[in-house]
Amino acid sequence: MCPECDATVSLGEGVERGEVVACPDCNAELEVIRIDPPYLVLAPPEEVDWGE
């Protein structure tokens, strides 16, 4: 379930804990906290020290 819009989000094959997926309805970026049962939270926004 998307924590932003309550849409059902199905996790595709191979999705792992720690990945970020997009909600198909509201396009929010969601971080996968747990696979089974699925638990998604809003992914934290980009921080100024992120990068290469």
Partner 1 sequence: MSSRIRVGMLCSRMRVEEKLLRDALVQRDLDVDIVDDRELTFALAEPVRDWDVVLERSLSQTRALAALRVVESWGVTTVNRHAVVAACANKLDTSALLEAAGVPSPATAVAFSPEAALRATEELGYPVVLKPVTGSWGRLLARITGRDAAEALFEHKALLGGPEHSIFYLQRHVDKPGRDIRAFVVGDEVICAIYRESEHWVTNTARGASTRNCPVNADLRATTLRAAAAVGGGVLAVDLLEDGDRLVVSEVNATMEFRNSIDVTGVDIPGHVAGYVRAVASGAMADAGV
What's the min distance (Å) between Cβ of 13 and partner 1? 13
Minimum CB distance to partner 1 smaller for 6 or for 39: 39
Distance (Å) of CA 5 to CA 13, 27, 31, 48 = 23, 10, 15, 27
Q: Does 52 bind partner 1 (CB under 8 A)?
A: yes
Q: Does 12 bind partner 1 (CB under 8 A)?
A: no
d(CA 15, CA 41): 15
Residues contributing to the site for partner 1 (CB under 8 A): 16-20, 31, 47-52
